[in-house]
Amino acid sequence: MKIDCLIAEIGSTTTVLNAFNIKDEVRFLGQGQGPTTVLEGDVTIGLNMALDSLAKNLGVDFIEYDEFFATSSAAGGLRMTVHGLVYDMTVRAAKEAALGAGAIIKMVTAGKLRRTDLQKIKEIRPNIILVAGGVDYGERETALYNAELIANLKLNVPVIYAGNIENHEEVKLIFEEAGQPLYIVENVYPRIDMLNVEPTRRVIQKVFEEHITKAPGMTKVRNMVNETIIPTPGAVMESAILLKEDLGDLMVLDVGGATTDVHSVTEGSDEIQRIMVSPEPVAKRTVEGDLGVYVNLPHIVERIGLDELKKEFPDAEELIENRKPIPVTDREKEFVERLTKEAVLTAVRRHAGGLRHLFGPSGKKTIAEGKDLTNVKYIIGTGGALTRLPKRVEILSSIPYDNTGDMFLYPKKGVKVLIDNHYIMASLGVLSKKHREAALNLLKQSLGLEGA
């Protein structure tokens, strides 16, 4: 069977393979899966098993393909460290760029690096190091100092410099002399109260693609994948950005076994922007490492309180003890739905900004801080829990009603809930890099918006 396009999602434990036609008739054909064989030292073993699974599901003996894309969170995902000048300014801007690209941020520093910081960087062994610092034509010394120390570590890890434009030539010279890989990009914080995260986000994904095949277990991945590879969370963000251009302001939630991701793509309302104290990126991602419904299930139970949970589920302790990666019985699904709702509401509360009242000589003044979600028109569920649980729509519909006291900058009541029914948002994010219209068409099919 000849297929236009295959897209693999290479996860930490499972590799999912999606098949699409994108030429004569744009449609999702089917899905197969296999284990992610990082530990065996060859991810293509798992990819071939997923290909066999796909062929079986499609009822064919073999599959030929023209294009093969991939997203990956295998081999520890995209591990990054971020180093800037002032935490609330250049550091935060650099962090937003890294998260939006799909990174797992393992370390953040502000100001000049210390010996203990350098030791920690060596222990983390990041895939990419991001150095920022100073607005354009502002402070120069800190970024140069940090660049020199990092270059002298000789980790042979790609470094992205996204700081003061005046440092470009010196930073380039520092890394050339040290024989270390360097990428220079526009400043993530070129002026006070101005974020410029998109150029850095694009370069992070480019660097990831160039270097991911060197990770343990990923060395042979190019034997099969002949197109783009980007981090899985970054691919979901690409889909969210694509949909925003077509549908309007939106947010995407993905509750997994270990983490909960929230992606929002919105400029916010003019009213809130006028009282905002610091800038926020249009496309923002937050990841909550303590909110997962399998690996990190105990953390959610702790948030709710076991005694409180037992009022709804007298058998809660048994359900916790015997939890499965994918709930099977109706009782298990009800229990995971309760935990998923807690994960969703907690993650949105952490992602959203809020209003604060300040009192001074001239009276009360209201300011806004953080991400403004008040213009969001669509809430989209993707990932295992929010595409498969029976009450997924009900869970997502509860988000605006969690805005107690209306102090959080939440989506308004009446927001429309959509589900990624085929569970293909990440796949279509990487597809959109080359086939934008086909990716949008397939996204709308998965969301039940074919006629939109």
Say if residue 267 is in the same domain as residue 303.
Answer: yes
Residue 451 in domain: no
pLDDT at 60 over 70: yes
Domain count, the chain: 3
Residue 452 in domain: no
| pLDDT of amino acid 24 | 84
Say if residue 18 is in the same domain as residue 146.
Answer: no
pLDDT at 356 over 70: yes
Q: Domain containing 95 — which CATH number?
A: 3.40.50.360
**At which of 159, 183, 212 does a domain end?**
212
Q: Domain containing 56 — which CATH number?
A: 3.30.420.40
pLDDT per position as a tens digit, 294-344: 989 999 999 999 999 999 999 999 999 999 888 999 999 999 999 999 999
Measured CA to CA, the distance from residue 188 to residue 173 in angstroms comes to 21
Say if residue 308 is in the same domain as residue 407.
Answer: yes
Residue 323 in domain: yes
- Three state DSSP letters for 194-226: ECCCHHHHHHHHHHHHHHHCCCCCCCCHHHCCC
State the average pLDDT over residues 158-167: 97
Say if residue 8 is in the same domain as residue 143.
Answer: no
pLDDT per position as a tens digit, 258-306: 899 999 999 999 999 999 988 999 999 999 989 999 989 999 999 999 9
**At which of 155, 177, 212 does a domain end?**
212
Measured CA to CA, the distance from residue 159 to residue 181 in angstroms comes to 6
Say if residue 119 is in the same domain as residue 31.
Answer: no
Domain that holds residue 412: 232-446
| pLDDT of amino acid 452 | 45
CA 269, 281, 438, 17 torsion: positive or negative? negative
What is the DSSP track for 87-101? IIIIIHHHHHHHHHT
Tokens of 90: 């250049």
Residue 426 in domain: yes
Percent of the chain with pLDDT over 90: 80
Say if residue 64 is in the same domain as residue 179.
Answer: no
pLDDT at 403 over 90: no
| pLDDT of amino acid 164 | 97
- Residue identified by tokens 């160039």 is 210
Measured CA to CA, the distance from residue 162 to residue 160 in angstroms comes to 6
Measured CA to CA, the distance from residue 266 to residue 313 in angstroms comes to 38
| pLDDT of amino acid 184 | 98
Measured CA to CA, the distance from residue 428 to residue 124 in angstroms comes to 31
Tokens of 230: 């980007």
Say if residue 107 is in the same domain as residue 188.
Answer: yes
Do the Cβ atoms of 189 and 132 come closer than 8 Å?
Answer: yes
Say if residue 128 is in the same domain as residue 52.
Answer: no
Say if residue 91 is in the same domain as residue 183.
Answer: yes
Residue 96 in domain: yes
CA distances from 314 to 167, 306, 332 (A): 62, 10, 13
Say if residue 283 is in the same domain as residue 418.
Answer: yes
Say if residue 267 is in the same domain as residue 173.
Answer: no
DSSP state of 314: T
Percent of the chain with pLDDT over 70: 99
Residue 158 in domain: yes
Give exposure, 201-232, as e/b (b: 16+ Cβ within 10 Å).
Answer: bebbbbbbbebbbebebbeebeebbebbbbbb
Report which of 357, 375, 352, 367 is spatially closest to residue 275, judged by C-alpha positions: 367
Say if residue 63 is in the same domain as residue 95.
Answer: no
